[in-house]
A and B are shown apart, each in its own frame.
Chain A
């Protein structure tokens, strides 16, 4: 388990060195998007229109923060469950996305897309939204305003802590549950 400090946008070299289990402190700009925003993003890509931010080298964070109190750049901001984005993720990775951040297992197609396009999947601590928000220094909505809390945000992060769950070589950190030990095989 190595530790890396990476700055966005990520390059192929940044990503290829990573292995499942590595700790990464991310800095730079990342973008928030979840179900509804992914649907819209894919509609734009399908019709040949430009996405609201450059996908090449980008990092997408599956998050939908709570409202920002007056004295903070953002509210609580932890990861949402990633499998719901698997409907769209392979397509988005094919346009150059280098990493997504979320929680929970990805499906086979998304894992394949990460191998094919040299990309990774990071996990952040689910349910630690208050703590994670302290690594986000700026946040502003840049697209799909009409989606309310699900709009796409551009967020500036400093040493945002993530773990490599799926690397670009097919490695995965999640282990299969031991049904036998639990007596339910």
Chain B
């Protein structure tokens, strides 16, 4: 058994919120650079140049990459051999979000769904817990902005629609989203599980680095196939045309009920605030 102090969890989460807010992950920055080299449209190149300059500036000034610092989404994997001491883990994570968003001058964007009154500290965060083997505690943080979140969807396809149906739905979703989710985007696709689980899978898919390759070669090929198709849509950076509509596609799949084909598409903007810590 390893003991982890609750205050260390709060500190780690606060630190992740602040760093993610101002530092674009290296793999995302590299993809934007590659895209800029590849684009032939001067407008697309100029937008990508601005996005790279924005990332440089945020890193230097510590201003947030985007004014919409998102709702905080955290995936917490607790090892079987970990003992948490000193309090409740959900409260510790929320305390970290509260601290990080206050000290990092990040925008608080969480409100009551009906009265729309702002909770004032960007909590509650959306927290997904999982139990895993080992003696580590792994936390992945994502900030989900409203613009791209609003373009995400869950649907229940008929099993007969199969992969073709999945593809068609994802392509139409990205096409309809147009300029709204700040393209180039990263598309998380959740297939299988159940209605709720598909959405979680789509979000979890976004926690992977852009340069990692899915361990299942069949799914890896499907990710490439979708990425190529989506980049033929011509939506382009900021929706103004070009070859870069998406920076990547990440699929997470799980077995589902034999009568169902649950599908979720979680669109994440280029401002992919993602951070990971292992305690």
Contacts and interface: CB of A to CB of B under 8 A. Distances in A.
Interface stretch (B1-9, B238-246, B251-259): B238-246
B64 interface: yes
Interface stretch (A5-13, A70-78, A88-96, A108-116): A70-78
Contacts of A105: 178-180, 239
Contacts of B65: 76, 127, 129-130
B58 A66 contact: no
Contacts of A184: 167-168, 171-172, 175, 229
A181 interface: yes
Interface stretch (B48-56, B189-197, B209-217): B48-56
Interface stretch (A48-56, A137-145, A152-160, A171-179): A171-179
B67 A64 contact: yes
Interface residues of B, number: 50
A153 B180 CA distance: 23
A179 B230 CA distance: 9
B270 A127 contact: yes
Interface stretch (B76-84, B87-95, B100-108): B100-108
A69 B178 CA distance: 33
B161 interface: no
Nearest to B169: A184
A126 B147 contact: yes
A175 B235 CA distance: 7
Contact of B63 (A64, A76, A126): A76
Given A127-B66, A127-B269, A149-B118, A177 B105 contact: no
Nearest to A82: B180
Given A126-B182, A129-B66, A177 B147 contact: no
Contact of B51 (A67, A69, A125): A125
B67 A181 contact: no
A128 B68 CA distance: 11
Contacts of B34: none
Contacts of B40: none
A177 to B, nearest CB: 4
Contacts of A68: 105
B50 A128 contact: yes
A99 interface: no
A78 B182 CA distance: 11
A93 to B, nearest CB: 20
A144 B158 CA distance: 49
Contacts of A64: 67-68, 107
Contact of A129 (B67, B230, B238, B239): B67
Contacts of A131: 50, 53-54, 57
Given A36-B116, A177-B234, A179-B171, A76 B147 contact: no
Given A125-B47, A126-B182, A66 B105 contact: yes
Nearest to A77: B67
A148 B118 contact: yes
A149 B108 contact: yes
A177 B178 contact: yes
Interface of A: 36, 63-69, 72, 75-78, 80-81, 83, 103-105, 123, 125-131, 133-134, 148-149, 163, 173-175, 177-179, 181-184
Please name the 10 residue pairs, one residue from A and one from B, whose CB atoms are nearest each other, closest first.
A184-B171, A177-B175, A126-B182, A66-B107, A131-B54, A104-B180, A128-B54, A130-B58, A76-B67, A181-B232
6 contacts: A78-B66, A128-B51, A129-B54, A148-B118, A179-B171, A182-B175
